[in-house]
Amino acid sequence: MLQSYFAAVLRNLADNRRYFGVAILGLALGLAAAILVALFVRDELNYDGFVPNHARTFLLYEGLHIPGHAAVLTPTGQAEIAALLKLDVPAVEAIARISPDQHTVRHGDIEADEKLYWADPDIFDVLPLPASAGDLRSALREPDAIVLTRRLARKYFGRDAPLGEVLQIDGQHPMRVTAILEDLPSNTHLDTQIIASGRASFAAWGPSRHEQRKRTDLGHSPTLA
């Protein structure tokens, strides 16, 4: 009986090739669309999920309210907020500042514009990211310290753990590699491969930047320290 059934199916396929072709194509497209949607939803639901304790980790934004305009959210805030929150909110276990920036990075003949994040030394208490080399607890204590992902370490140094090597930032600021992170996934807001010490003089909230902003407000041309 089973053989007769398959024989009938084959005859129908032979007689209605176009119909069955369209049906099979539609089924394949439907399955492909369902798989893509499932993968997208999974990626979104796991956004930043690789960070330990991510459910208890929060990113603070600053809202600018200008009369007559919609509120504007910025990914940075006042430098004093971190210290004030740590003092005034007992539930805060750890807090650190982090700020995106763009700089030219060079080692030897390799040079490129890279996005980096300036961060407080305690950033890895808030974001205990996996490291393949170095000690993240002390990695950003010095003002010339910089942490790279393995991918960027290979790009500039050709190996996975170039601890102690130096990268030139903007052609005039040497930064020493103190730790190497495992490569970060794509579904994270940390869209960078470099985390640099916020204690650097030219960091986003460093004294050189404050002086630059002051000169700009006074109408003078900004200069880099």
Q: What is the DSSP string of 180-220?
A: EEPPPPSSSS---SEEEETTSTTSTTSHHHHHHHHHHHTTP
**What percent helix, strand, coil does the chain show, rounded to 5?**
35, 25, 45
**What DSSP line would sit under 109-174, residue for residue?**
TEEEEEEEEEE-TTHHHHS---EEEE-TTTTTSSTTEEEEEHHHHHHHHSSS--TT-EEEETTTEE
**Predicted pLDDT at 72:** 78
* Cβ atoms < 10 Å from Cβ of 136: 21
- Which residues 6+ apart lie within 8 Å of 109 measured at CB? none
Q: What pLDDT score was predicted for residue 216?
A: 39
pTM listed for this prediction:
0.71
Query: 218 is written with which tokens?
Result: 């006074």
| Contact yes or no for 50/56 (Cβ under 8 A) | no
CB atoms within 10 A of CB 50: 15
Could you give the CA distance from residue 152 to residue 92 in angstroms, rounded to a whole number? 33
Per-residue pLDDT of the chain (225 residues; tens, 9 = 90+): 566 766 666 666 666 667 667 777 888 888 889 899 888 887 777 777 778 888 788 877 777 788 888 877 766 666 677 778 777 888 888 888 888 899 999 999 999 999 999 999 989 988 889 999 999 999 999 999 999 999 999 999 999 999 999 999 999 999 999 999 999 888 887 888 999 999 998 888 765 544 444 443 433 333 222
* Both structure tokens of 113: 């514009």
Choose among 102, 98, 106, 16: nearest CA to 57: 98
Q: Where are the domains of the chain?
A: 2-45, 94-217
| Residue 211 confidence (pLDDT) | 46
The pLDDT score that the predictor gives to residue 7 is: 66
For residue 18, what are the CA distances in angstroms to 7, 9, 12, 25, 219? 19, 14, 11, 10, 74
**Phi/psi at 205 (nearest 5 deg)?**
-115, 15
Classify residue 68 by its DSSP letter. Answer: T
